[in-house]
Amino acid sequence: MPATIRIRRSVHFSLVTLLSLMLGSFTDAQTIRVDMTASHSTNSFVPTEALGAGIDRMNANTVEKVFTPETISRVLTAGWQTVTYRQNTELFAEAWHWNPEGTWSDPAGQGYFTGSSTPGESIRHSYGYLLPHRGSTRNDGTGNNGYSRITDGDLDTYWKSNPYLTQAFTGEDDSLHPQWVTVDLANSLPVSAIKIAWGEPYATKYSVQYWTGDDPIKQPTKGSWVSFPGGVVTSGRGGAVTLQLAASPMPVHFLRIWMTESSNTCDSHGSSDKRNCVGYAIRELFLGTAAGNGEFYDLLRHTPDQDQTATISSSIDPWHAPSDLGPTTREQIGLDFFYGSGYTRGLPAMIPIALIYATPEDAVAQITYLEKRGYPISYIEMGEEPDGQYMLPEDYAALYLQFATALHRVDPKLKLGGPVFQGVNEDILVWPDAHGKASWLGRFLDYLRARGRLNDLSFMSFEHYPYEPCKIQWSSLYDEPSLISHIMQVWRDDGLPRNVPMLITELNLAWNSGESFVNTFGGLWLADFVGEFFTSGGAGMYYFHYPPGGVSPGCNESFGTFGMFTVDTNYQIQKPTSQFFASQLITQEWAQPGNGVHRLFRAGSDVVDPAGHVLVTAYAVLRPDGQWSVMVINKDQQNAHTVRMVFNDSSSGDHFFSGSADFITFGNAQYQWHPKARDGYPDPAGPAARSTVAARADTAFEFPAASATVIRGKLGEDRATQTKKH
């Protein structure tokens, strides 16, 4: 039994006693209080719909090895239910051929590809095609292959903007969707002139601008774009144009060409397809100074690789050819292979469509194909990380509505959503609009709302990678509840309606793995995240990554894995990691497996350290079987904590676990990781410890140091409460 602390006037505390109080060694005051008032329930979820996992693009030589019945059977024991198919091609600025069979828009066998919607031979593998009219040297996803055609040194190649962002497809004036190119000189350099080798179509109205702040991409609100004195053109005629931007050289680090009106002349692919004749194209840029005799001194590096002077473009034309097939060492799992594997458990799956580098016709064909096959679809995620592709929200929104219109003609019941933000902890900001608004999500929602199309957004999705790789400390664990609850509130503050659910469609500690993923920290973080996410109103989450991928180099020479198992060189499962046991704790102990409704209630803890960190967090759920289940995470590395648990109903008073209660705990006593480069291993390697407790009103539960525990049982009232009632 824990000691009782009562402060009386006659008691004199020694310094040792005071220090003991500060350090929490007297624990009677330690309590978890659950607000079980029915009307105070914060959320509800159904496990088969809300507790999911993701399957991403894989190395081609591993796909067949991790899609075996033996491996899948072992993976499913983690308990995750619904699955999301992750699309990776757009992170590489590629066009996804979800079906290798299909038709090209150009009879010559090139152009815009539409996969066949007619089921035929089972699709087991699919790949991405590099875009030949790319305007970005690199993007902020994983797409560090390819390069920009704007500074590649070849006048026969060119960047071209996405034709679907022009009036011919949006029905709106092109000035509402200005297209742009930025140039990063790496340092401030003297600039007074620019030479633009325009392609077809070219800009007839454009402005050449410089940035007044530090970095317009990473800090878009800390500076502004200012047009050069000689940088405003209102009647451009294309060709090779040299502009004297300023009378004398001025220091420039970042430059932007802002294009608002097109010549609508046709590119090198001809006039038979209107998509070839809208937007903007640039063959090459030259930037520097010009002498009085007209001689140009160029500062840019022109090379067909990522060592070129870096450029970023607002969009890219998805035109391509068979010869643009990207590396086949990584593949998107074939959709038939995916659905037939067993990973989906036969449940509806979240399916992506390519949007940023694709066509509505191809998206329609993909969903038509899946429906003809009879594959169940829960949600359709529209595109992939537009923030990582540096798209302005109005451009993404314009594409979103075009694709939504086309898809809802196929099936009005389809649930569409996005934008699949990268894992961030703060609002995503972009260059302020004419009204000074800089919130990406806020402006995206404004665009849909202004056109009466907010109902086309059935859910809002984002990724959650809360910690910066290589900087994860044990103390980082204290931050997770506030990080996830904060960013969810940010999205609501941006204007996301309360009736639009939030889904996290990829999640783990960070976007680069390390030892924190596989030691006890990773399991505790996962349990803490899931509890707070659902308590704060989340609708569904998808653990990343479902199939085993093996231990690989991560941060600070440590090794880790996005996954729940270690594997041998042939990708056969060896040992479970901490996140496997945390997954089981969440899906099979905290939640009741199945399709019953679980109701969440807020739980507060007064177990804190001297710095105010909450050391013990708790998440309470009322399960369909009538049991109360509380998941408790003790983040104290060194100390167990003995805590009483009180459930308060505003109308009936305090309640407590009563009778036999299940006590399932996972921590250092059950699991310890031993780092050994790629051969790291856990020993002990689980499972969680199970016991029963004879609980009553005065029972105090001991939670081991660095552990996640589920207490589950029925509630009763203490005698005092019963006496008051009678």
Architecture of domain 45-128+323-590: Alpha-Beta Barrel (3.20)
| DSSP of 666-681 | EETTTEEEE-BTBT-E
Looking at the structure, give the CATH architecture of the domain made up of residues 15-42+597-725.
Answer: Sandwich (2.60)
Stretch 437-449: mean pLDDT: 98
The total number of residues shown for the chain amounts to 726
CATH number of 159-317: 2.60.120.260
CA 610 to chain centre: 34
Please give the DSSP secondary-structure letter assigned to residue 218: T
Helices and strands (DSSP H and E) totals, the chain: 14, 43
Nearest Cα neighbor of 382 from 419, 340, 409 is 419
Among residues 507, 508, 491, which one has the least CA distance to residue 457? 491
Give which of 669, 671, 673, 672 is closest to 702, Cα–Cα.
669
Quote the mean pLDDT of the chain: 93
Which residues does 435 contact at the CB level (< 8 Å), separation at least 6? none
Nearest by Cα to 332 from 570, 4, 8, 55: 55
- Element holding 520 (H helix, E strand): helix 520-535
**What pLDDT band is residue 718 in, cutting at 50, 70 and 90?**
low
pLDDT at 60: 92
Judged by DSSP in three states, 464 sits in strand
Give per-residue burial for 298-319: e unless 16+ CB within 10 Å, then b: bbbeeeeeeebbbbbbbbbbbb
Report yes or no: 24 and 30 within 8 Å, Cβ to Cβ: yes
Helix (H) or strand (E) holding 20: helix 15-23
Q: What are phi and psi of 598, to 5 degrees?
A: -110, 135
| Residue range 617-641, pLDDT digits in tens | 999 999 999 999 999 999 999 999 9
What span, in angstroms and rounded, lies between the C-alpha atoms of 208 and 67? Answer: 52
Chain center to CA of 277: 35
The answer on pLDDT for 23 being more than 60 is no
Res. 535: pLDDT tops 90 = yes
| Model pLDDT for residues 596-605, shown as the tens digit of each residue | 999 999 999 9
Query: In DSSP terms, which residues pair with 567 in a beta bridge?
Result: 573
> How big is the chain by its Cα radius of gyration, in Å?
29
Whether the Cβ atoms of residue 222 and residue 254 lie closer than 8 Å to each other: no
* Residue found under tokens 């774009």: 225
Q: How would residue 1 be classed by pLDDT, with cut points 50, 70 and 90?
A: very low
Q: What is the pLDDT of residue 555?
A: 82
Looking at residue 346, its pLDDT comes to 97
Q: Could you give the residue range(s) of every CATH 2.60.120.260 domain in the chain?
A: 159-317
Question: Which residues make up the CATH 3.20.20.80 domain(s) of the chain?
Answer: 45-128+323-590
Amino acid at residue number 653: G
Are 84 and 349 in contact by the 8 Å Cβ rule? The answer is: yes
Q: What would the pLDDT profile of 172-225 be if each residue is shown by its tens digit?
A: 999 999 999 999 999 999 999 999 999 999 999 999 999 999 999 999 999 999
Closest among 504, 542, 533, 529 to 349, alpha carbons compared: 542
Residue 579 parent element (H or E): helix 578-584
Q: Which pLDDT does position 281 carry in this prediction?
A: 98
Which residues of 496-539 form beta strands (DSSP E)? 502-507
Which residues 6+ apart lie within 8 Å of 273 measured at CB? 105, 106, 111, 112
C-beta of residue 647 within 8 angstroms of C-beta of residue 62: no
> Whole-angstrom Cα distance, residue 8 to residue 262?
83
In this prediction, residue 24 carries a pLDDT of: 39
Kindly report, as residue ranges, where domains of CATH 2.60.40.1180 are found in the chain: 15-42+597-725
Q: What is the pLDDT of residue 558?
A: 87
